[in-house]
Amino acid sequence: MDATREALIREMEAYFGGDTKRINHAHKVTEYAEELLKREGGDYSIVIGASVLHDIGIHEAQKKYGSTTGKYQEKEGPPIARGILTGLGFEQSQIEEICQIIAHHHSPGKIATKNFGILYDADWLVNLSDEYDIQDRNKLNNIIERVFLTQGGKALASEIYLQLPRSEGVFGGDE
Ligand SMILES: [Fe+2]
């Protein structure tokens, strides 16, 4: 495992404490983001930083507003991420980009970069079955076309949710 990735995961787990639901979610999103990095290109450090830390504001949102809704997470996440990334020696420009992605990760259309698209799609790959009824294949096709931003995200969503052949066995576990 990449040392930076490992350090980010350690910081995220320490921050979330006993909240295994959030920790597992961050792991899954990061794994999908890694697969999308292979398919789409994108900057590894930016995408991994944003993936591991994208929901890091969720506890603070709950504490301050009694709500974990997207806009509060987007507001509370960046300062926490900034502290973690600074501590890990990320460059200023990297920190800015990662924090921008976190600040908009429920608001597509505001950042048009590949790095944003990968994190956004990786999050949706994990969340799709919670947010939509995925039983109807025709509807699901339309949902996938509408929701995902990258071609790799659409393809991977079809592989996972429409059960087309998967490319590699990296999606088996829940960790
Ligand atoms: Fe998420």
User: Could you tell me the distance, in angstroms and rounded to a whole number, from the CA of residue 15 to the centre of ligand 1?
Assistant: 15
How far is CA 152 from its chain centroid? 15
**DSSP conformation class of 171:** S
Q: Both tokens of residue 42?
A: 């994108």
Q: What are the residues whose beta carbon lies below 5 Å from ligand 1 (ion)?
A: 55, 123
Residues 28-33, mean pLDDT to the nearest whole number? 98
User: Could you tell me the distance, in angstroms and rounded to a whole number, from the CA of residue 67 to the centre of ligand 1?
Assistant: 15
Q: What is the pLDDT of residue 175?
A: 38
Tell me the CA distances in angstroms from 154 to 31, 46, 111, 170, one per residue in order: 16, 21, 19, 17
pLDDT at 1 over 80: no
CATH architecture of 3-161: Orthogonal Bundle (1.10)
Does the CA dihedral 163-168-171-172 come out positive or negative? positive
User: Could you tell me the distance, in angstroms and rounded to a whole number, from the CA of residue 59 to the centre of ligand 1?
Assistant: 13
Residue ranges of domains in the chain: 3-161
User: Could you tell me the distance, in angstroms and rounded to a whole number, from the CA of residue 87 to the centre of ligand 1?
Assistant: 23
Q: Both tokens of residue 33?
A: 């983001």
Does the CA dihedral 60-65-68-74 come out positive or negative? negative
Q: How confident is the model at residue 141 (pLDDT cuts 50, 70, 90)?
A: very high
Q: How confident is the model at residue 79 (pLDDT cuts 50, 70, 90)?
A: very high
Residue 166's contacts (CB-CB under 8 Å, 6 or more residues apart) are 159, 160
Q: Which residue do the tokens 């979610």 mark?
A: 25
